[in-house]
Amino acid sequence: AQKVTQAQTEISVVEKEDVTLDCVYETRDTTYYLFWYKQPPSGELVFLIRRNSFDEQNEISGRYSWNFQKSTSSFNFTITASQVVDSAVYFCALSDPNQAGTALIFGKGTTLSVSS
Amino acid sequence: NAGVTQTPKFQVLKTGQSMTLQCAQDMNHEYMSWYRQDPGMGLRLIHYSVGAGITDQGEVPNGYNVSRSTTEDFPLRLLSAAPSQTSVYFCASSLQGSYGYTFGSGTRLTVV
């Protein structure tokens, strides 16, 4: 069965600190896709990144970076020099072409609070 | 380009009432799905569809029905509302699921 685990329920940091959000996934398939979504206090879900199982290159986008390691089934998300606007709930999700019509399977989310 | 449109945004129902949450997308996406979000539970898949006329159950389908008569629309029906169905409901669509999903703005449902 597929599963996504975000062990950190809540994280609090002070502005300019770096923070890493952990994501561990389970799937038996070799082809799958991993995602991160952001849900700010306004409630909408904002797509951040997509990664397929054959591409283990790390990715950096501004202050955001992602570390994908198949050996440990992890897809961690790091925010460098955090800002108050980064305060949100962050969800890691898994999509498997052989399961549930590729619908996303979400972790329970990590609430990040950044104080000034 | 409206994206994924959900209506209504807010709804209060009495126990036992039925209603339909509407979801429409104008991106010609084949893949659509419904989720519910509850505190501490993340988003859980209720039903999904891979094209017009094709639907299937997700993780938490009990108490909900769906149909997909057109590519654009994917309504979610609550047959007999219960307080346990108080939640925020999100509809999502994707051209091809592995590309990621676009989400609607959500419907906040309260059952009293």
User: Does A52 sit within 8 Å of B98, measured CB to CB?
Assistant: yes
DSSP state of B72: S
Contact with chain A for residue B48, Cβ under 8 A: yes
Q: To the nearest whole angstrom, how far is the Cα of B49 from the nearest Cα of chain A? A: 7
> A97: cis peptide before it, omega within 30°?
no
Q: How far apart are CA B56 and CA B40, in angstroms?
A: 25
CB A108 within 8 A of CB A6: yes
pLDDT tens string, chain B, 112 residues long: the values are 679 999 999 999 999 999 999 999 999 999 999 999 999 889 999 999 999 999 999 999 999 999 999 999 999 999 999 999 999 999 999 988 777 899 999 999 999 9
Residue A55, number of CB atoms within 10 A of its CB: 11
The residues near A57 (Cβ < 8 Å, ≥ 6 apart) are A68
Contacts of B100 in chain A (CB under 8 A): 33, 35, 47, 50, 95
DSSP assignment of A52-89, as one string?
ETT----EEETTEEEEEEGGGTEEEEEESS--GGG-EE
Q: Are B68 and B32 in contact (CB under 8 A)?
A: yes
Q: Do A102 and B90 touch (CB under 8 A)?
A: no
Residue-level pLDDT at B31: 94
Q: How far apart are CA B41 and CA B14, in angstroms?
A: 24
Q: What is the pLDDT of residue B43?
A: 95
Q: What is the pLDDT of residues A59-104, one digit of tens each?
A: 888 999 999 999 999 999 999 999 999 999 999 999 988 777 788 9
Closest Cα of chain B to A17: distance in Å?
Answer: 25
Given a contact cutoff of 8 angstroms between Cβ atoms, the answer to whether B52 and B66 are in contact is no
Q: Does B90 touch chain A (CB under 8 A)?
A: yes
Instruction: Determine how many CB atoms are found less than 10 A away from the CB of residue A11.
Output: 17
Average pLDDT over residues A6-18: 97
Rg (alpha carbons) of chain A, rounded to whole number: 14
- Asked if residue A105 lies in contact with residue A97, where contact means CB atoms within 8 angstroms, the answer is no
- Distance (Å) from the C-alpha of residue A31 to the closest C-alpha of chain B? 10
Q: Residues B47-54: contacts with CB within 8 Å, 24+ apart?
A: B47/B76, B48/A100, B48/A101, B48/A103, B49/A101, B49/B74, B50/A101, B50/A102, B50/B97
